[in-house]
Amino acid sequence: MIRRSRYLALLGTLAAAVAVAGIALPANAADVDADAGGYTVYVPGVDANTSTVGSSFLVSPNCGTGAKADTPLKNWDRKPGTSSVAHLRCGTQATFGLRHINKGHGQDWENVRAKYAQPGTWDSFMETITAENLISPSTKITPADNKDTYHGYLCVRQNDDGEVVRAYDTIIPVGQGNDNIITSYFLNGRASDPHC
C-alpha cells in the first residue's frame, strides 16, 4: 500500500512529466468527442492568402486597467462601407471595442473556440473571424443608425470528411465616421449553411 504523501508525490511527478512532454490531457469526455476528427473553423471566401490577420496573439493585454478607451489594438481592411478600414480599440464595457465584446460575447467566443479545439484565446479567435468577415465576399453590409453592420458567417468543417458540422451568422457593426468596431458576435448556430 502506497502512503498518501508518496502517492501525491508520484502523481505530481507524472503531471510534470506530462507537461514537459507537451501532452495535453482532455479535461472531460466532451473534449475527447469534440476533438475526435479535428475541425477547421473558417469564413467562406477568405483563405490564408487574402486574410489580413497576421497572427493569433492575444490582443487584450494592451487593454489593461490604465488603457484608455481610444487605445488602438488593430486596424483591418474592410469591404467598402463608408470607409476602407475598421479599428478595434479597447473601448468601454458599455459602448464599443474589445471591452464591450468581452463583456457581452467573450464567453460565447471562448465556448466555440474551445469546443472545436481552435488555437489561441477567445480574443485571438474573435479577431481572426472578425477581420476575415470584414473582407469576405460572402459578407453583406447594412448601413443604418450611423453604422455599417457586416453580416457574415463562421463555418465549422470536420477535417476527416470535410463535412460542415456547424454554421453561425456573424454580426459586426462598425461606426460610421469613427470606423470603430462596436462589437462582434455570432448567433443562429445550425447544422449547415449554403454559404459554407
DSSP string, the chain: ---HHHHHHHHHHHHHHHHHHTPPPPSSHHHHHHTSS-EEEE-TT--TTT---------GGGG-TT--TT-EEEEEE-SSSS-SEEEEE--BTTTBHHHHHHHHHHHHHHHHHHHTT-SS-HHHHHHHHHHHHHH-TT-EEEEETTEEEEEEEEEEEETTT--EEEEEEEEEEEETTT-BB---EEEEEES--TT-
The answer to whether residues 102 and 28 belong to one domain is no
Beta strands at 140-144 and 85-89: parallel, antiparallel or unpaired? unpaired
Per-residue confidence (pLDDT) for residue 65, from 0 to 100? 82
> What is the amino acid identity at position 66?
G
The answer to whether residues 11 and 82 belong to one domain is no
CA distances (Å), origin 36, targets 39, 72, 148, 169, 174: 9, 39, 39, 25, 37
Per-residue confidence (pLDDT) for residue 49, from 0 to 100? 52
* Cα angle value 53/54/59 (rounded, 5°): 75
Residue 195 domain-assigned?
no
Number of structural domains in the chain: 2
The answer to whether residues 67 and 132 belong to one domain is yes
The answer to whether residues 41 and 30 belong to one domain is no
Per-residue confidence (pLDDT) for residue 131, from 0 to 100? 96
Please state, in angstroms and rounded to a whole number, the distance separating the CA atoms of residues 64 and 169. 30
Cell numbers linked to 195: 454559404
Residue showing cell 469591404: 79
Per-residue confidence (pLDDT) for residue 60, from 0 to 100? 64
The answer to whether residues 20 and 43 belong to one domain is no
Per-residue confidence (pLDDT) for residue 53, from 0 to 100? 52
Per-residue confidence (pLDDT) for residue 64, from 0 to 100? 84
* Cα angle value 181/90/120 (rounded, 5°): 85
The answer to whether residues 47 and 17 belong to one domain is no
The answer to whether residues 135 and 185 belong to one domain is yes
The answer to whether residues 160 and 105 belong to one domain is yes
Tell me which residue range forms the domain holding 123: 37-190
The answer to whether residues 180 and 113 belong to one domain is yes
The answer to whether residues 175 and 155 belong to one domain is yes
pLDDT band at 20 (very low <50, low <70, confident <90, very high): very low
